[in-house]
Amino acid sequence: TQNDFIAEYLDYRDVYLDIILDSETFARAGICETCQSAEATFNCVTCTGDHGWCRPCLIRSHQSLPFHKIQFWNNLCFHDVTLAELGFVWYLGHGGEPCPSYGGSEIYGYQDERVDGVTEAGSLPQDTTPVTVVHSSGVFTHNMSWCCCLGSNPHHLQLLRAGLFPASSTRPRTAFTFEVLDHFLIDALECKTSARSFFEKLTRLTNNAFPDSVPVSEKYIFINSEYQQYL
């Protein structure tokens, strides 16, 4: 019965708590697991297992995982940081690789107008734009690097080809993954979730302490779910 399950659990409660508290420390502190030279300061809470990367290795290992949630270890505790803040660029048009029309470009870099407003030495001579991407696990802002090859698609179609439904076809600054649109339709069907409640859930998944700090309005959820029903 339910009581037996709880009685069984109580014998192990302290052990469970110890293991959960242990996971709050940086298990892979020390040297970066990939380059084996720089100091490891980042962990990913979305990847399974314990990891420790330096910044460049973290970005490279997450080039196709833009919705992973990253933590920075300050030698005492973890802080939430975003891939975009760390220099991640989402390349469009070439299967995740930088557009060759820009010339020899690095897999990550810096630019003057980044989503966090940080300016650093170095250059990213690419046409990047911050775009708010709404996904099932939260709201992310990513620096999009557009394909600028001769005859390339307009920005809204480049987003769509990358699996992101643009909120606007003129100057898209918000886009939705197909996963979050499907998720919303099923939530509305099975749980009678309103667009507002669904959006509030996403803002809390993004930042439970300050949900109002999350950009994007829920009216977009309405608009996009309408669009999708026409597809």
Closest CB to Zn ion among 89 and 221?
Answer: 89
| Residue 28 touches Zn ion, criterion: CB under 5 A | no
Of 56 and 130, CB closest to Zn ion: 56
Name 61's Cβ contacts closer than 8 Å, sequence gap at least 6.
Answer: 34, 53
Stretch that binds Zn ion, among 4-12, 143-151, 195-203, 216-224 (CB under 5 A): 143-151
- The secondary element (H helix, E strand) that includes residue 9 is helix 2-22
CA–CA dist 115, 97 (Å, integer): 21
| Residue given tokens 């084996």 in the structure block | 36
Q: Binding residue for Zn ion (CB under 5 A) from 6, 39, 46, 213?
A: 46
Cβ atoms of 184 and 177 closer than 8 Å: no
Binding range to Zn ion, per CB under 5 A, among 44-52, 122-130, 163-171, 222-230: 44-52
Helix axis angle for 195-206 and 178-191, nearest 10°, is 130
Structure tokens at 11: 């014998």
Phi, psi of 102 (to 5 degrees): -80, -5
- Which one among 29, 31, 38, 160 touches Zn ion, defined by CB under 5 A? 38
Under the binding rule (CB under 5 A), the answer on residue 32 touching Zn ion is yes
Per CB under 5 A, which region of 23-31, 93-101, 132-140, 182-190 contacts Zn ion? 93-101
Contact call for residue 54 and Zn ion (CB under 5 A): yes
Q: How far apart are CA 38 and CA 47, in angstroms?
A: 21
What are the residues binding Zn ion (CB under 5 A)?
32, 34-35, 38, 44, 46-47, 54, 57, 68, 93, 99, 101, 147, 149
